[in-house]
Amino acid sequence: MQIASLGSGSKGNATLVSLDSTTILVDCGFSLRQFKLRLERLAMSPESIDAILVTHEHSDHSGGVARLASTYDIPIWSTRGTARCAFDDDCAYNSLRGGQQVTIGSLEVLPVTVPHDAGEPVQFIFRDSKNSKMLGILTDTGHITSHISDVYHELDGLLLEFNYDEVMLEQGPYPFSLKQRVGGDLGHLSNSQSMSLLRKINKERLSCLIAGHISENNNCRNLVAEQLGQLSGLPEPVLADQETGFGWIAI
């Protein structure tokens, strides 16, 4: 199993998960032109994508999904709540529900219900049943619930949101209402919240750790790297960015 990103942050997100002959795209917050340019960095074409999973309707995650799917006839998978908010009524999609696993090609996919200010948001855990490898993606989450701690407890790979530093958010340029939204229980994960999850989970199998959705206004990569460096038992982390994301990483 492999994971790659075409960009991670508030200006657009798109993550690829691949196993054998199956490639799944998680979200597309880029225009079709921008998506294709970014995909070319991985020497890939849109025709190689077997499905698009949508986490929620915010434009940095869903803005490019409908056009990409219709142009290249790629099936969309979404919760009903997300589909109602993100797509026109005539947009066809396969229905997902938190906690109900589906199989797409070679990958088993578990949608995980998360707290975020959206219609019916989910994040995902991918499983390679042949080799018992598990990869989790967890971004756009306001706080860590006991359910999240349980299902993300033992993974081989994890892409985890490190959206904001609490001091930088408080002292930063955002208006007060937006600060409340980002830092609230239905907003995003702070560095300290993500570190708390990493302290709780079993890290014995964790061979790949990616810090993603790092805010350009309320966080910095050096802060994230410094905090991750203080916790023992972690693999060398990869820090995703908005412009380049990151290349293929094997799980």
C-beta of residue 164 within 8 angstroms of C-beta of residue 218: yes
pLDDT bracket for residue 244 (50, 70, 90): very high
State which H helix or E strand residue 211 sits in. Answer: strand 208-212
Q: How many CB atoms lie within 10 A of CB 220?
A: 14
**What pLDDT is stored for residue 129 in this prediction?**
83
C-beta of residue 197 within 8 angstroms of C-beta of residue 190: no
**What pLDDT is stored for residue 205 in this prediction?**
96
138 has a pLDDT exceeding 90: yes
pLDDT bracket for residue 8 (50, 70, 90): very high
Q: Which two tokens stand for residue 5?
A: 């990103």
**What pLDDT is stored for residue 209 in this prediction?**
98
φ, ψ of residue 228 to 5 degrees: the values are -65, -35
CA dist 202 to 152, 224, 228, 233, Å? 9, 20, 16, 10
- pLDDT average, residue stretch 127-141: 95
**What pLDDT is stored for residue 184 in this prediction?**
98
DSSP 145: -
What's the pLDDT tens digit per position in 11-60? 999 999 999 999 999 999 999 999 999 999 999 999 999 999 999 999 99
**What pLDDT is stored for residue 140 in this prediction?**
98
C-beta of residue 203 within 8 angstroms of C-beta of residue 234: yes
C-beta of residue 212 within 8 angstroms of C-beta of residue 229: no
**What pLDDT is stored for residue 180 in this prediction?**
97
φ, ψ of residue 210 to 5 degrees: the values are -125, 125
pLDDT bracket for residue 131 (50, 70, 90): confident
What's the pLDDT tens digit per position in 174-186? 999 999 999 999 9
- Cα separation, 175 vs 179, in Å, equals 6
**3-state class (DSSP) for residue 50:** coil
pLDDT bracket for residue 173 (50, 70, 90): very high
Average pLDDT of the chain, as a whole number: 97
Q: Domains, the chain, ranges and CATH?
A: 2-250 (3.60.15.10)
Q: What percent of the chain has pLDDT over 70?
A: 100
